[in-house]
Amino acid sequence: MMSLNRSIFLSNAGISSSSSPFTGGQRGSVPSVPSSLRVVAVNSNRDRNGSVLTETTRKDVRDGAASSSSVIDVDSKSTVAPGGPHDVYGEDAATEEQIVTPWFVSVASGYSLLRDPHHNKGLAFTDKERAAHYLRGLLPPAVVSQELQVKKLMHIIRQYQVPLQKYMAMMDLQESNEKLFYKLLIDNVEEMLPIVYTPTVGEACQKYGSIFGRPQGLYISLKEKGCIHEVLRNWPEKNIEVIVVTDGERILGLGDLGCQGMGIPVGKLALYTALGGVRPSACLPVTIDVGTNNENLLNDEYYIGLRQRRATGQEYAELLHEFMSAVKQTYGEKVLIQFEDFANHNAFDLLAKYSATHLVFNDDIQGTASVVLAGLVAALKVVGGTLADHTFLFLGAGEAGTGIAELIALEISKQTNMPVEETRKKVWLVDSKGLIVSSRRESLQHFKKPWAHEHEPVKTLLDAVNDIKPTVLIGTSGVGKTFTKEVIEAMASFNEKPIILSLSNPTSQSECTAEEAYTWSQGRAIFASGSPFAPFEYEGKTFMPGQANNAYIFPGLGLGLIMSGAIRVHDDMLLAASEALAAQVTQENFDKGLIYPPFKNIRKISAEIAAKVAAKAYELGLATRVPPPRDLVKHAESCMYSPSYRSYR
């Protein structure tokens, strides 16, 4: 059999290290366990005499039992068959019609260690580690550093011309070597962020069925109604701190992608770890599959979700409520649940319904609002004045538009001590039917009604710009090319430095490009977008377009909530996050036309945001981890996950 220090333990079955280890059919002492040992299930192993020893039966595993009576001692005279080890479970001899038990060994040593993404280091295993963990001969003799591995992989990824190929390469890396994936992403964040998230993740979701390989995250469909708690228990990690969940109905600006929206939670949580330092094992991506109304997907043979029209009404509400209740029951009150890419009619209702009972956050409503407010606060250092001195006009009155508008109004109210009902009058919204005005109030959705001000009806954006004369124009419509030349020129005609934020994702849905904004405003616009644009030169000056990316906010916000043990998200936490981000913008950034700091410093930025959010949680009495640390910034940095390789005994 294997040597003494290669005993197998059933960690997931609740079996401790004292559970009947055997050597050569005899009860023996328990050896020290390597730090990388990780066993999930069972299989057979053979000793030097040919005896086959197995771990507990499946029933014993479920019951948490592991006595000597549950160990099967097979005929010691068994020999290895010509095709490999003796077929203990009859799997090789079974016909296709017969049922077999899917036993699987996942011991983090030897060949299995190289297949374990949590512990695999590839060629970075030292000679000592290779000897101790049965890796001799399984790897080429060279030992390389993690830094050289990153350099090699970046060279390979840069050879791909198609962004989706780069995305697939990164997902493959995440599934084979977790630490290397995050090391590469952190060290090359500005280059790789558009690959693992927007805009490339949008294309990945559209083609998710075609590129689907190993499943990532939990898929909870209508089939699981009534047993969601059991489904959550199927997830191998138990100490979950952040869940990102979507129902796939409004993926970026691409519409209903159903079950294939899973790319969004997976991508968001990769950023929680890379940018905010939340442990990968504490993150859980979830897709709620209630069907899709996308006919192309329903007719696509590669579609991976339920082939039915979307469930609505009570059926939908009951499934979501069961999910929210099961999450709280399974992981406790302090698990952060981030709603992602739900359609407007559900997003607002879910946030309103559960914000008083769960730690919930909607990135499309609140995260976008916080990052845009940060950009506006920073831009004031260039254009002058206070927020109350400016007039804001939005194209788009959905989750993002109304969420940003409300946070702007709250910040103005905080600064001026005016009622928020009054400060809302500084903000105007245009939807698909024109300017939102009081004469339309009765026909408006509830979340648009606070923005119905006294004004005559206006049908087009251009007319609204000329009538309202805003100093800030913000696009959240999800419709590309809507900031036309006439609109930008009108903004530039009555503003020395018009602030133009084209926030819709992906790039194809952006209201205008950086080149268009700078050219049509004669280089005077202060511009930022939702998706990245390349630097642009206008009349000898190079402009660096800023990106109002939610990734500036949600990783740091999440870290702050986790490290303070917050039980609720409060609007003041979002304002604190915005102020913390705006404070990171330097004069050097402003000189380049930026209203956001460079992403290369994102971990430092996230630590600052986390500290401000945690401080606000303690101030509001919503934190449970007491007493608070003396230095919240240093504490945030100390809490961050490190992707550097660990040494194994």
Q: Which residues are catalytic?
A: 197, 268
Tokens of 433: 């039917």
Q: At 288, list the tokens.
A: 């709620």
Is residue 390 helix, strand or coil?
coil
Return the beta strands (E) in 165-238 as ranges. Answer: 218-221
Task: Write the secondary structure of 115-133 as one string of H (helix), E (strand) and C (coil).
Answer: CCCCCCCHHHCCHHHHHHC
**Distance in angstroms (rounded) separating the CA atoms of residues 178 and 165:** 19
Dihedral of the alpha carbons of 543, 545, 546, 550, in degrees to the nearest 10: -170
By the 8 A CB rule, do 520 and 546 touch? no
Q: Nearest 5°: phi and psi at 378?
A: -65, -40
User: Which region holds residue 577: left if phi is over 0, alpha if psi is between -120 and 50, else beta?
Assistant: alpha
The three-state secondary structure class of 46 is: strand
CB 369 within 8 A of CB 571: no
Q: Which residues pair with 73 in a beta bridge?
A: 53
Contact 153, 179 (CB under 8 A): no
CA dist 606 and 610 (Å) reads 6
SS3 553: coil
- Report d(CA 184, CA 179) in Å as an integer: 9
Distances (CA, A) of 524 to 200, 492, 515, 527: 30, 8, 12, 9
